[in-house]
Amino acid sequence: MAQASRVTVAPSPGAPTVVSRVSWAWVGVVPFFAFALMFLILPTALLVVGGLQDAQGRLTLTNILDLFEPTILSSYLISIKVSAASAIGGALIGFFLAYAAISGGLPAWVRPTLMTFSGVASNFAGVPLAFAFLATLGRTGLVTALLVNVFGFDIYDAGFNLLSFAGLTLTYMYFQIPLMVLILAPAIDGLKREWREAAANLGASTWEYWRYIALPILWPPLLGSTLLLFANAFGAVATAYALTGSSLNIVTIVLYAQIRGDVLHNPNLGYALALGMILITGLSNAAYIWLRGRSERWLR
Amino acid sequence: MRGSRLGSWLAMLLGVLYFFIPLLATFEFSLRYFRGVYSVEAYRIVLADPQFGATVTYSIVLALATIVMGIALVVPTAYWIQLRLPGLRPVVEFITLLPLVIPAIVLVFGYLRIYNSSSILPLTGTERTTDVLLMASYVTLALPYVYRSVDTALRAIDVRTLTQAAQSLGAGWSTILFRVILPNVRVGVLSGAFLTFAIVIGEFTMASLLDRPAFGPYLQLIGANRAYEPSALAIISFALTWACMGLIQVFGRGAAGQAAGAR
């Protein structure tokens, strides 16, 4: 391709000369790679190296092993639990919503409306989202009050607390569900109506259609999107921080406190904490990319 | 099929409730400033707070600077990849996806380590250079979305023919980029711009850790100290998000993506 253009783009007078022998084409992408190096690759690489060093700069695995201390390990576990629960919940509800809007026999205006609202809701995150849920399910929130006044049921007496695992998961799902709708819509579009009709003609029940046709095709995008949602929630800081302050010990909050004031009393342990996070989000993203590759075979 | 259609409506109803109840509750809460009577007092207090105006202005200016820098970085790169270096496309695409893999808090941790005041490039040394660093970090956060929307727009036009036509008429590279390519990818550039705006305007983590007076940290501060004003602010920032996404819909015909930075 590049060869062809070099032949046809004949330098006319005054036009930028296109060098034909030694290609200088790479110069055009130098700014981009310089930027990526400065603001993506080097900062991350430095943290990774820092996580593998002791205070004197010698290579060590102590920091990595220290991540398995009970307090740090529990913060990773809470993060993983919240991220997994909100990803699975968001993926299930998002899947039903997207399927209902696309193949559920609803009027044509439902789908674009759902997509627009998903675009908005998936971007409504961070600090304001925490405020919204405090006003809804906090101790004096509207839904909490309504449940007490109408049904005489106090969710806080029943053990619910917004500033906990359940509350944070419910809050995260507010952006996870619409994100799932946005990512999964193309995959559901790929489920051809003919497959369902052919299955019905051959006498398959709805269950058999899902078991033998739809799910075998849909599982890679379903699982892949769930992994993406997981990584999305795992790196979140602002919502949790505004909602719970530092009362819920998730790993991003620990890292935030560490950056603010070295609460772990060991800078290198802080770098290792970041290294662990990169590993977890990296693995789930890699699995997502692999699964997306698999799903593209069918869903063209 | 009647039964399944009923199920579809039920799913929609649930979705609508999940989406609207928190908004309604927030709105109702924001009006509760005086006991027993609804009023817009919380909004009045928020809007009268000089800090509100100052932080919103700071974030808007930063968002505009981020948009300009992001587009100046992405459009020529994506154009050049398409025209001359298609072999590099997978590498560049991989790099633009990295900000989705590396959490924002990890990136800013790295910046604080590499650009601290005793390093070779002490960007965090003064307020001005910290602003530059914050802008660069927002360009990074928005990179996946901006690159994708610009690249999609570039693939829809015939870059090669346009370039050759412009060159044969005697256009230089800057004329080609500004007067031929940019107008043709306007839609992608605009949707990338609004998405960047939506990311930057309420971003908390990076602004807070770099200690800059942006809207996100202000929101958090009010949330920690006030009762009703946070709800009013949540409604205001929801309206801002709506405006950005609505503009993307208008210009980009449904190309709205999702912004990770706000979280």
Instruction: Read off the pLDDT of residues A18-53 as tens digits, 9 standing for 90 and up.
Output: 545 567 888 889 999 999 999 999 999 999 998 898
CB A238 within 8 A of CB B220: yes
CB A8 within 8 A of CB B167: no
A183: tokens are 């990512």
**Is the CB of A115 less than 8 angstroms away from the CB of B256?**
yes
Rounded to whole angstroms, how far apart are CA atoms A20 and A297?
A: 39
Q: Nearest by CB to B95, which of A13, A36, A117? A: A36
Residue A5 has pLDDT above 70, yes or no: no
Question: Where does the pLDDT of residue A219 fall: very low under 50, low under 70, confident under 90, or very high at 90 and above?
Answer: confident
**Is the CB of B95 less than 8 angstroms away from the CB of A40?**
yes
A178: tokens are 């619409």
Q: Nearest by CB to B25, which of A16, A143, A238? A: A143
**SS3 sequence, chain A?**
CHHHHHHHCCCCCCCCCCCCCCCCHHHHHHHHHHHHHHHHHHHHHHHHHHHCECCCCCECCHHHHHCCCHHHHHHHHHHHHHHHHHHHHHHHHHHHHHHHHHHCCCCCCHHHHHHHHHHHHHHCCCHHHHHHHHHHHCCCCHHHHHHHHHHCCCCCCCCCCCCCHHHHHHHHHHHHHHHHHHHHHHHHHCCCHHHHHHHHHCCCCHHHHHHHHHHHHHHHHHHHHHHHHHHHHHCCCHHHHHHHCCCCCCHHHHHHHHHHHCCCCCHHHHHHHHHHHHHHHHHHHHHHHHHHHHHCCCCC
Greater confidence (B5 vs B22) lies with: B22
Rounded to whole angstroms, how far apart are CA atoms A293 and A285?
A: 12
State the smallest CA–CA distance between residue A175 and chain B in angstroms.
9
How far, in whole angstroms, is CA B71 from its chain's centroid? Answer: 13
User: Could you tell me what percent of chain B has a pLDDT over 70?
Assistant: 94
**Is the CB of A93 less than 8 angstroms away from the CB of B18?**
yes
Instruction: Say whether residue A199 is in contact with chain B using an 8 A CB cutoff.
Output: no
**Is the CB of A242 less than 8 angstroms away from the CB of B160?**
no
Q: Give the mean pLDDT of chain B.
A: 87
Rounded to whole angstroms, how far apart are CA atoms B257 and A120?
A: 9
Q: Nearest by CB to B11, which of A97, A127, A241? A: A97
Query: What count of Cα atoms within 13 Å lies in the side-chain half-sphere of residue A268?
Result: 18
Which residues on B lie below 8 Å from A51 (Cβ)?
A: none
For A118-158, what is each residue's pLDDT tens digit?
888 887 888 999 999 999 998 888 888 888 888 888 888 88
What pTM did the predictor assign?
Answer: 0.85
Between A and B, how many residue pairs show a Cβ–Cβ distance under 8 A? 298
**Is the CB of B25 less than 8 angstroms away from the CB of A40?**
no
User: Could you tell me what percent of chain A has a pLDDT over 90?
Assistant: 28
The type of residue at B27 is F
A32: tokens are 């981009």
Per-residue CA distances from A71 to A78, A257, B137 (Å)? 11, 14, 30
State the smallest CA–CA distance between residue A2 and chain B in angstroms.
5
How high is the pLDDT of residue A15?
A: 46
How high is the pLDDT of residue B262?
A: 42
Question: Where does the pLDDT of residue A14 fall: very low under 50, low under 70, confident under 90, or very high at 90 and above?
Answer: very low
CB A87 within 8 A of CB A229: yes
Residues of B numbered 41-70 whose beta carbons fall under 8 angstroms of chain A's beta carbons: which are they? none
ipTM of the complex: 0.86
